[in-house]
């Protein structure tokens, strides 16, 4: 008998494939349930599964293997041993202690990694595994899966330039089960009908860190709804700079001198006005003047986080009157949409960035939080034009700003973690790199700003393939 036929019958007889009525994790009811975890209980079945995967792997070229946790891990392990090809593992939960690795195992950037998966529906689990692999600089071209439920996964992966290879398709399984007399023709017809009517939209949500586009700033300009966001992209294009400088200094003299030194090389100057000892209205006017003459936007990194009423007072009042001079401010989403509503109500001249992720060690902006930030941004797209995130986490109609950028990787003693411009812009596909101490602690700030400007711009140009 053909090995695939034998395999399907075995899978059915061992109740890996079950027909009935099953409530899936997503809440929907399915007439078929496939639990490939069961295969580890039957060594000979597991061997058959791996032999079929191996037939496909043979025709592909790759340096390392990665199984999608958890079900495909034993498959990938056996393939790794069989072929003497090293393997890496993606952690489902990134540890908050020790090395905090997302990927376990030894590998080099630019190695080709083949992803092994047990079953694919929409492709979202594969994309979740893809994200940290790509972040670490690995190249992923192919995914080998035992079973394709034919519900949109292949198309979804193709959008990310990934080729799906499957041992079995749902259609094959149903045909084999019919031919072998395991299922009646009527039942199979009913199941076919179910699979055709439950195609998963290929627009399923994009996991964090995944670039969903490869569009240029020119192409994205008209997609940005907020006018500060559009103005920012105009400046970026005109100055060929996607560099923001974080001026964490304590005197107005230093702040103004940084603004004039780095002004020609940046699109944004990020301030923390509350750490300036001698802030006053004249300093503010001078800063705004420098911003106009060098054409950069002022981003007050105030991180509003309170209830709307308080935020409105903090934004417009006090001794800083932020709403009067800042072009951009940012906000946490912890207090709910009231924070954004207050900022939007108080000034239509100021664009908002939401904090979706942070650069510091042990921060609590987990996946679910990031997704919420994206949801809020979509709801207030007239005012919110982007995110503070570690890379591109969503669609091209938002702009992604990444802090914690330095040419030398590493960190500081208080939890800051640095990534280099090439990784941030080129691999993590962020738009604007925020550089602080890498520039302001340099002996020649102007020269350092020029170096970072070039590094960030070159990474962008290379990314969009110009
Ligand atoms: N900043 C971060 N990480 C974050 C957020 C803001 O570093 O997640 I949100 C700010 C803090 C500082 C600047 O103003 O960005 C980074 O400065 P250095 O490049 O000097 O670390």
Range of the domain at 442: 217-464
Mean pLDDT, the chain, whole residue set: 91
Pocket of ligand 1 (CB under 6 A): 246, 248, 301, 355, 358-360, 388, 403-404, 416, 434-438
- The CATH number of residue 236's host domain is 3.20.20.70
| d(CA 404, ligand 1 centre) in Å | 5
Centroid of ligand 1 to alpha carbon of 299 (angstroms): 12
Q: Whose CA is nearest to atom 3 of ligand 1?
A: 359
**Integer Cα distance of 149 and 195 in angstroms:** 8
Counting beta carbons within 10 angstroms of the beta carbon of residue 269, is it exposed (0 to 12), middle (13 to 18) or buried (19 or more)?
buried
Q: Indicate whether 254 and 400 sit together in one domain.
A: yes
229 is in an annotated binding site: no
Q: Which amino acid residue places its CA nearest to atom 9 of ligand 1?
A: 358
Q: pLDDT value at position 95? A: 53
Does the annotation list 314 as a binding residue?
no
Asked whether the whole model's pTM tops 0.95, one would answer no
pLDDT at 138 over 90: yes
Domain stops at, among 211, 239, 262? 211
Model confidence at 208: pLDDT above 60: no
Boundary-marking domain end, from 211, 236, 259: 211
State yes or no: pLDDT of 212 exceeds 70.
no
So what's the pLDDT on residue 204? 35
Contact 119, 111 (CB under 8 A): no
Residues involved in catalysis: 301, 303, 306
- Looking at the structure, tell me whether residues 129 and 240 fall in a common domain: no
Structure tokens at 314: 């903090």
Query: Are 246 and 379 within one domain?
Result: yes
pLDDT digits (tens, 9 = 90+) for 107-120: 999 999 999 999 99
Per residue in 293-350, pLDDT tens? Answer: 999 999 999 999 999 999 999 999 999 999 999 999 999 999 999 999 999 999 999 9
DSSP-assigned letters across all residues of 76-132: HHHHHHHHT--EEEE-SS--SSTT--SEES---TT-BEEEEEEEESSSHHHHHHHHH
For the CA of 357, the nearest atom of ligand 1: 8
Looking at the fold, whether 427 and 305 belong to one and the same domain comes out as yes
Residue 193 binned pLDDT confidence (cut-offs 50, 70, 90):
confident
205 in the same domain as 239: no
Q: Do 187 and 244 reside in the same domain of the chain?
A: no
What does the pLDDT look like over 72-95, one tens digit per residue?
999 999 999 999 999 999 987 765
The end-to-end CA distance of the chain, in Å, is 53
Nearest C-alpha neighbor of 200 from the set 119, 120, 122: 122
Q: Which residue has the tokens 């702040």?
A: 255
The radius of gyration of the chain's CA atoms, rounded to the nearest angstrom, is 26
Element (H, E) at 384: strand 384-388
Does 18 have pLDDT greater than 90?
A: yes
pLDDT tens-digit series, residues 249-294:
999 999 999 999 999 999 999 999 999 999 999 999 999 999 999 9
Residue 401 pLDDT more than 80?
yes
- CA–CA separation, 41 vs 298, rounded Å? 61
Among residues 156, 177, 211, which one ends one of the domains? 211
Segment among 40-44, 52-56, 77-81, 209-213 with least mean pLDDT? 209-213
Task: Indicate the number of domains in the chain.
Answer: 2
CB-count burial class (<10 Å; 0-12, 13-18, 19+) for 222: exposed
220 is annotated as contributing to ligand binding: no
What is the rounded distance in angstroms from the CA atom of residue 180 to the CA atom of residue 205? 39
- Quick check: 211 pLDDT over 70? no
Residues 275, 372: one domain?
Answer: yes
453 labelled as ligand-binding?
A: no
Same domain, 278 and 247: yes
Minimum-distance ligand 1 atom for the alpha carbon of 406: 19
Identify the band that residue 52 occupies on the pLDDT scale cut at 50, 70 and 90: very high
Residues 137 and 251 in one domain: no
Q: Is the backbone peptide bond immediately before 70 cis, with ω within 30 degrees of 0?
A: yes
User: What pLDDT sits at residue 207?
Assistant: 40
- In this structure, the answer to whether residues 236 and 204 fall within a common structural domain is no
**What spacing in Å lies between the alpha carbon of 208 and ligand 1's midpoint?**
20
Q: Do 171 and 91 share a structural domain? A: yes
**From CA 168, how far away is CA 8, in angstroms rounded?**
9
Residue of 266, 436, 441, 442 to test ligand 1 pocket, by largest number of atoms within 8 Å of CB: 436
Other Cβ atoms within 10 Å of 93 Cβ, number: 8
Residue 331 Cα to ligand 1 midpoint, Å, equals: 14
Q: Compute the C-alpha angle 112/115/116, nearest 5°.
A: 145
Backbone angles phi, psi at 222, to 5 degrees: -75, -10
Please give the residue that has the higher pLDDT: either 191 or 73: 73
Q: Are 463 and 214 in contact (CB under 8 A)?
A: yes
Q: Do 330 and 238 have their domain in common?
A: yes
Atom of ligand 1 nearest to the CA of 388: 9
Look up the CATH number of the domain holding residue 10.
Answer: 3.40.50.2020
Distance 21 CA to ligand 1 centre (A): 51
């Amino acid at each position: 008998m053909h090995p695939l036929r034998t395999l399907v019958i075995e899978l059915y007889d061992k109740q890996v494939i079950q027909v009935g009525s099953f409530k899936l994790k997503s809440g929907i009811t399915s007439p078929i349930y496939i639990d490939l975890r069961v295969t580890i209980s039957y060594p000979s079945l597991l061997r058959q599964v791996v032999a079929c995967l191996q037939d496909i792997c043979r025709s592909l070229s790759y340096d390392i293997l990665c199984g999608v946790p958890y079900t495909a891990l034993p498959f990938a392990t056996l393939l790794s041993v069989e072929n003497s090809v090293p393997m890496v593992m993606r952690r489902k939960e990134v540890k908050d202690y020790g090395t905090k690795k997302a990927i376990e195992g030894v590998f080099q950037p630019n190695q080709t990694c083949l992803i092994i998966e047990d079953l694919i529906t929409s492709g979202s689990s594969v994309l979740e595994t893809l994200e940290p692999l790509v972040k670490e600089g690995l190249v992923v071209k192919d995914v080998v899966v035992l079973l394709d439920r034919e519900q949109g996964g292949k198309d979804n992966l193709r959008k990310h330039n990934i080729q799906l290879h499957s041992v079995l398709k749902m259609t094959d399984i149903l045909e084999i089960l019919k031919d072998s007399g395991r299922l009646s023709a009527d039942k199979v017809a009913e199941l076919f009908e179910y699979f055709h009517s439950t195609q998963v939209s290929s627009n399923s949500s994009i996991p964090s860190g995944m670039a969903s586009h490869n569009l240029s700033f020119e192409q994205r300009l008209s997609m940005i709804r907020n006018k500060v966001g559009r103005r920012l992209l105009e400046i970026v294009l005109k100055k060929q700079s996607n560099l923001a400088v974080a001026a964490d200094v304590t005197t107005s003299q230093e702040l103004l001198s940084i603004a004039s030194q780095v002004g020609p090389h940046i699109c944004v100057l990020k301030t923390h006005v509350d750490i300036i000892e001698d802030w006053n209205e004249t300093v503010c006017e001078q800063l705004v003047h420098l911003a106009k003459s060098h054409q950069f936007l002022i981003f007050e990194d105030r991180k509003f986080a309170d209830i709307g009423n308080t935020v409105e007072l903090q934004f417009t009042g006090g001794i800083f009157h932020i709403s009067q001079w800042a072009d951009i401010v940012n906000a946490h989403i912890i207090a709910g949409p009231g924070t954004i509503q207050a900022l939007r109500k108080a000034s239509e001249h100021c664009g908002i960035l939401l904090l979706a992720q942070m650069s510091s060690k042990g921060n609590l902006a987990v996946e679910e939080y990031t997704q919420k930030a994206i949801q809020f941004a979509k709801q207030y797209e007239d005012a919110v034009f982007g995110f503070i995130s570690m890379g591109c986490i969503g669609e091209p109609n938002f702009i992604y700003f990444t802090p914690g950028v330095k040419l030398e990787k590493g960190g500081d003693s208080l939890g800051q973690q640095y990534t280099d411009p090439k990784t941030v812009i080129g691999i993590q596909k962020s738009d604007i790199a925020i550089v602080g101490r890498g520039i302001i602690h340099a002996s020649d700030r102007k020269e350092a700003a020029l170096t970072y400007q070039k590094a960030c711009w070159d990474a962008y140009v290379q990314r969009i393939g110009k």
